[in-house]
Structure 1
Amino acid sequence: MVQAPAPTTTTDLATLVIDLIRQAGCEYGDVRFCTYRNQNLSARDRSLTQLSDNVSSGFGVRVLLDGAWGFAASPHKNPAEVTRIVALAVEMAKGSRLSQRTRVQLTPVAAYRDTYITPIEIDPFSVPITEKADLLLNINQQLLGYGERGIKKVFSYLRFTREDKTFASTEGSLIQQTIYRSYPGMGCTAVANGDAQSRSYERPPLNIGYEHVNATDLLSQVERVAEEAIAKVNAPKGPSGIRGTLILQPTNLWLTIHESVGHPTELDRVYGYEANFAGTSFATTDKLGKLQYAAPWVNFKADRTQPGGRGTMGYDDEGTKSQDWYLVKDGMLVDYLTDRETAYRLGRDSSNGSAYADSWSSVPMVRIPNLGLEPGPDGGSHTATLEEMIADTEDGILIDGIGSYSIDQQRRNFQFGGDAFWKVEKGKVVGMLKDVTYHSMTTDFWNRIDAIGPASELQQCGTNMCGKGEPMQIAQMTHACVPVRVRDIQLGGAS
């Protein structure tokens, strides 16, 4: 009798995992075989201060047994370890069941046999390290050329990621994905009159290849960034204790969207499953379809299919196909971000594909996908270009870039700063300000928007560093948006 060869490929091992889960009598199970490569370069002044190129590889098994989750993971990918980890996950589920009050149930999901690869032109890992380092040092050298005028510290960076993931489930899915991410940026600090102020520039973190690192663009921004840092450190402080009008660039607005729309609509927060990092949410399910979250001309759409989006992929980490859907439509709260478990509890017949884990050793949880503010329609009564917003503003502040922020435990009440501020008077930008913050309640803020930019001014801004959970997981997402004008907002401290 000829013995069958032991499974050796990732696909073979994934098939073995699923067979073992079924043999254990689990009602559901899945496995993710993942390899993550992260390359980071940073330069400060005239030195390269960070050069790392790390690979992390392993697999995680998740099982649902008698309505309870079990999870186990390992970096060792071989048949014996696969068998051990499946058995451990099953034992974890049995232990969880002892203290669990309500059985976990999942919405159905279709079975997919598919491959997804981020479309790229240049593999960022094929570009020599020396070329990347030389670019950063060139940027810094040019920024330091403004030293006599007050630029004292400069920095630049390049960040690249490749995720290779094979997902298999007892539903019959076998999905292979390769996701590329690129992120360049720079900044400087000016010192004058006993004060220090910084200014930065980034090409937003996107799922794209090395073509995103446009050296010509980065070097062309040096003069502007340096000049604005110098103007900022010499500028007067912004107003405080009054209410005013704000014109917010997408580079600032994306973070307000992230914190006050994205996180509050994660359904695990709403249900109280997640309470770390200002967890839970005011947007409870009794408000669904009833809460006027924003002005009637404001729409927020989640979209995991968005080209280049930092959260774009073919499938989430439960094998749900990527899709797009409204969270806020015509200003009304109409949906949430769900995985299969929370979608079932909400009474939905499917998840909208918001499950994501940051590692092979992490359990998937509900994460914000790409989430954007839709542009104003052409000819809409509240649609205006940035230039038109400025021209139509008697007294206000234009804000670009992100700064400090805070938000309360239920995401109701927030404070945001920015990276650069300009005074607007009588329809014109008249000079820089510094140290501006704005404060509001979430629904008050979004209901006070009276002008929204057109599609021609849409920008794909976002983050590569969204923390959630305990132990913390990191995710990334794009918040594509346009400029907006918002009236009667608290500036600085309380009046």
Structure 2
Amino acid sequence: MIGDLPREDHVPHSIDEDFSALPLRPLADAALARARALGATHADFRFERVRSGSWRLRDAKPASSSDTTDLGYAVRVVHGGTWGFASGVDLTMDAAARVAAQAVAMAKLSAKVIQAAGSDERVELADEPVYADRTWVSAYDVNPFSVPDGEKVALLTDWSERLLRAEGVAHVDASLLVVQENKFYADTAGTSTTQQRVRLHPQLTAVAVDPDSGEFDSMRTLGPPAGRGWEYLTGTGWDWDRELAEIPELLAEKMRAPTVDPGVYDLVVDPSNLWLTIHESIGHATELDRALGYEAAYAGTSFATFDQLGKLRYGSELMNVTGDRTAEHGLATVGYDDEGVAGQSWDLVRDGVLVGYQLDRRTARLTGFDRSNGCAFADSPSHVPVQRMANVSLLPAPGGPSTEELISGVERGIYVVGDRSWSIDMQRYNFQFTQQRAYVIRNGRLRGQVRDVAYQGTTPEFWGSLGAVGGPQTYVLGGAFNCGKAQPGQVASVSHGCPSALFHGVNILNTTQEAGR
């Protein structure tokens, strides 16, 4: 299990004093008391401060930077079996009470609309234990916001200049995104939690240009975004020096590489690529609101409908996937979600069969689950919590093979590394993925890079072709800062851990030939 993988020690932190000094409890008490007095059967109060920073360089010269803070609070109620929601920024008790009254008024208005539509569906929430005065802080050593901006820019400049000095590298883009998220939550059941999360995403892209033909290509670092601190950029968790030293030669080889011959190949997928396939074909497909049809307008529903729970053959028997809100350094790791549900880990796919979904409290109660698994999240104080993805991860095989051993067993295949572009249909069924670089495998050995590679399939077919899963030594926690969902749109960060894996008989496309059709 993920929890059995090696973990790193980190310095424990406390909640920032300036956040704790805000009138969190008095505001919550005023809002919840007002909602209760107006007849709400449930009310929750959420105060957020989200600080986001970005630094971008072009060819080792600063191009842009930003440092913004979103601060405010929201009140959500269930009144008359209907949701109501409102938010505010005025930090007075009277204002918090008014926001609660607005949420109740919104619920009453929504009830009229629902009744006019002929629906008798009522909002009910799955039970959750009460957590009083709980505090949780994510795993990091050095808060990136405590590092002077000049030091951040100096590091990105140094990394950029290393790449620019290499022969064949014409341009370099560098960026660093940093977020510190503070949340205080309280509800009428008695739960109250205070949390602090830090995450960051460093990234460099080297561009090569052939001066004769004008042909160009690029290669990006594989270091994933992570729920870590500044130490992630200075030696803990990823070997940036080694990767930066390797990129120029790898990019030069890519520029010289022949185009791929399309056909059916065995496919070895590196974790730096497979995480995105997991995200699109498993992560989104096992969100229960999609499976029930509640999330249909933005990026679709799901082929993994609720009637197939416990029956759907999602993939081969080697496929074991968990949803996890507890993975150390995971981007979707929390102590408690935005409905006061404690973080937990659970099975989504076991031995290749669909056995679980990602739930919030409403969908859990609606479908007969005893409890939510903590997948409610809002990206700002002005947005209502929606069901969002946990860290969805493919488990490694205990004692399983290395990536080199997976490759050694392939006679005719392709090895893909790094994510690039993707396409998947609205039901998370038909897909196509490309990569940063791809290698031909012949008789168990890598025979050099090829270009224009995309692998294509359907979700059950692809995962059904899973022939071998790498061991824990191949496991990497990848992820993204920018998973979008809902209307109005919200953005969430999420991680996906996975080992290297071997898939048999996968359809490989030549993207240049496909584009020309």
* Common fold by TM > 0.5: yes
**Conserved? CA contact 2:76–2:85, under 8 Å:** yes
- 1:206 and 2:220 correspond: no
Could you tell me which residue of structure 2 aligns to residue 3 of structure 1?
none
Could you tell me which residue of structure 2 aligns to residue 354 of structure 1?
375
Tell me the secondary structure at the aligned position of residue 308 of structure 1.
Answer: coil
Structure-2 separation of matches of 1:182 and 1:194: 35
- 1:112 and 2:131 correspond: yes
**Conserved? CA contact 2:318–2:468, under 8 Å:** no
Letter in 2 for 1:73: S
1:226, distance to aligned residue in structure 2 (A): 1.5
1:276, distance to aligned residue in structure 2 (A): 3.5
Tell me the secondary structure at the aligned position of residue 418 of structure 1.
Answer: strand
Could you tell me which residue of structure 1 aligns to residue 204 of structure 2?
186
Tell me the secondary structure at the aligned position of residue 441 of structure 2.
Answer: strand
- 1:330 and 2:351 correspond: yes
1:264 to 285, 296, 300: 285
Deviation string 1:60-91 (CA, Å, 9 cap, x unpaired) is 11011111101111122212221221111111
The size of the alignment, in residue pairs, is: 482
1:144, distance to aligned residue in structure 2 (A): 1.0
Mapping 1:234-249, distance limit 5 Å:
234-240=256-262, 242-249=263-270
**Conserved? CA contact 1:248–1:399, under 8 Å:** yes
Structure-1 separation of matches of 2:329 and 2:208: 33
Structure-2 separation of matches of 1:131 and 1:89: 45
Tell me the secondary structure at the aligned position of residue 419 of structure 1.
Answer: strand
Structure-2 separation of matches of 1:474 and 1:377: 34
**Conserved? CA contact 1:107–1:350, under 8 Å:** yes
Structure-2 separation of matches of 1:396 and 1:259: 23
Could you tell me which residue of structure 2 aligns to residue 58 of structure 1?
72
Could you tell me which residue of structure 2 aligns to residue 94 of structure 1?
108
Could you tell me which residue of structure 2 aligns to residue 252 of structure 1?
273
**Conserved? CA contact 1:187–1:225, under 8 Å:** no
Structure-2 separation of matches of 1:55 and 1:338: 29
Deviation string 1:3-39 (CA, Å, 9 cap, x unpaired) is xxxx971111111111111111111110100001111
Deviates more, 1:227-236 or 1:441-450: 227-236
Structure-1 separation of matches of 2:358 and 2:99: 30
Could you tell me which residue of structure 2 aligns to residue 426 of structure 1?
443
1:98, distance to aligned residue in structure 2 (A): 1.1
1:58, distance to aligned residue in structure 2 (A): 0.2
Structure-1 separation of matches of 2:243 and 2:361: 44
CA RMSD of aligned residues (A): 1.6
Mapping 1:49-448, distance limit 5 Å:
49-100=63-114, 101=119, 102-113=121-132, 114-146=134-166, 149-192=167-210, 193-214=213-234, 217-240=239-262, 242-378=263-399, 383-448=400-465
Structure-1 separation of matches of 2:220 and 2:75: 42
Letter in 1 for 2:282: V
Structure-2 separation of matches of 1:484 and 1:143: 31
Deviation string 1:77-118 (CA, Å, 9 cap, x unpaired) is 212221221111111100111122111111111111200011
Could you tell me which residue of structure 1 aligns to residue 10 of structure 2?
none
Deviates more, 1:253-262 or 1:416-425: 416-425
Structure-1 separation of matches of 2:405 and 2:156: 37
**Conserved? CA contact 2:299–2:485, under 8 Å:** no
Letter in 1 for 2:248: A
Structure-2 separation of matches of 1:394 and 1:413: 27
Structure-2 separation of matches of 1:313 and 1:271: 25
Unaligned 5+ segments in structure 1 are 1-6
Structure-1 separation of matches of 2:244 and 2:407: 25
Q: Deviation above 3 Å: which 4+ runs of structure 1?
A: none
Label 1:301 to 1:404 Cα distance change in 2 as closer, same or farther (>3 A): same
1:414, distance to aligned residue in structure 2 (A): 0.4
Label 1:225 to 1:277 Cα distance change in 2 as closer, same or farther (>3 A): farther
Deviation string 1:103-152 (CA, Å, 9 cap, x unpaired) is 11111111112000113211211111111101111111111112xx4322
1:202, distance to aligned residue in structure 2 (A): 4.0
Could you tell me which residue of structure 2 aligns to residue 14 of structure 1?
28
| TM-score computed with the length of structure 1 as normaliser | 0.95
Structure-1 separation of matches of 2:414 and 2:177: 32
**Conserved? CA contact 1:197–1:233, under 8 Å:** yes
Structure-1 separation of matches of 2:383 and 2:432: 31
Structure-2 separation of matches of 1:26 and 1:201: 50
Tell me the secondary structure at the aligned position of residue 264 of structure 1.
Answer: coil
1:298, distance to aligned residue in structure 2 (A): 0.8
Tell me the secondary structure at the aligned position of residue 221 of structure 2.
Answer: strand
Identity %: 38
Deviates more, 1:195-204 or 1:419-428: 195-204
| TM-score computed with the length of structure 2 as normaliser | 0.91
Tell me the secondary structure at the aligned position of residue 285 of structure 2.
Answer: helix
**Conserved? CA contact 1:356–1:366, under 8 Å:** yes
Letter in 1 for 2:432: Q
**Conserved? CA contact 1:190–1:196, under 8 Å:** yes
Letter in 1 for 2:342: K
**Conserved? CA contact 1:276–1:468, under 8 Å:** no
**Conserved? CA contact 2:185–2:193, under 8 Å:** yes
Could you tell me which residue of structure 2 aligns to residue 28 of structure 1?
42
